[in-house]
Amino acid sequence: MDLRQLEIIRAIAETGSFTAAGVKLSVSQSAISRQVLLLEEELNEAVFLRIGRRIRITPAGEALLQLSHRVFLDLKDTVARITDTQASLIGPVRLAGGMTVSLYVFPALLRDFRKHHPDADIKITAGATDKCLAGLRSGLADVALLTLPINDPDLVTVPALQEELLVVSSPNHPLAAKARVTPADLRDQPFVLFETGSNTRRVVDEFFLRNQITPQIVTETENVEIIKALVRAGLGLSIISYQSVAREVASGQFFCARITGQTLIRETGWVYVRANRVPRAVQEVLASFDRVKPRLRVIPPPGRDRIGPDVHA
């Protein structure tokens, strides 16, 4: 048995006749018949039954047909993997993610990606999780970096980051004068928060519920830059990821602190459509991320509740 015979079996099954299979494979009908006969003699089993002008595949032929599908799919994937790794990516690479990762993860990721794939055409969609998931399912995005969990059997999730969420205020807020911030200090405070329904907001709401805090919500938004602007203006506190304020905290524009006795963690992961083979574009994006991940400031220095400019001096 060889690959050509498996190819012939598939062609006969797809076209319904030996003659049509010969046309499809650009060989004579007699050559097709000869190969089938040799295969049947080797197996001592009929592969096709001739019923007048029609043919019917036998159980043995069906088993060989399924083998043919598997063999040629594996062959195609193997060739694709070999040729993929030999060349720089060309064409569109479509990323999706929330506002925070688009601002604070994607720039470093894309700088590294372009070094390795200068001819790739990178497109970014920033938005809420539902929008990003819709893009993945419709084929408008190849891979997304989203807050977990994502529960969908048709999607693959690969954990990427664990980001610490901290309370943030303007530097002249009364909280900034405290040696530490407790859950009780946050009661009856105004808050600017991520939108209801987001996974980040879920982590924050669970914290509020555990500590019997009913926040006074000034506004909700998916845009972390709007949150920061409102906090900077003194309109309320927020609980957001450390990496989104690390630079401003270092320069004294914000006060930032862990909440005593609490560890608020947001897990972020790569999400892409489940398939037989992970697309090359997705593999290369994840490889670039692995290279830049050690440089991302997602968790503040350990052992301190208050995070200020002296930490980064």
Each of the 313 residues of the chain gets a pLDDT tens digit; together they read: 888 899 999 999 889 889 898 999 999 989 999 999 998 899 899 999 888 778 899 999 899 989 988 888 888 777 766 666 555 677 789 999 988 899 999 999 999 999 989 988 899 999 889 999 999 999 899 999 999 999 999 999 999 999 989 999 999 999 998 888 999 999 989 999 999 988 899 999 999 999 999 999 999 998 999 999 999 999 999 999 999 998 899 888 999 999 999 889 999 999 999 988 888 899 999 999 999 999 888 777 665 667 755 433 3
How far apart, in whole angstroms, are the C-alpha atoms of residue 255 and residue 10? 68
Give pLDDT, residue 53: 75
At 85 the three-state DSSP class reads: coil
For 308-312, the CB contacts below 8 A with 24+ separation are: 308/249, 308/252, 308/255, 308/256, 309/249, 309/250, 309/251, 309/252, 311/249, 311/250, 312/246, 312/249, 312/250
Give pLDDT, residue 51: 82
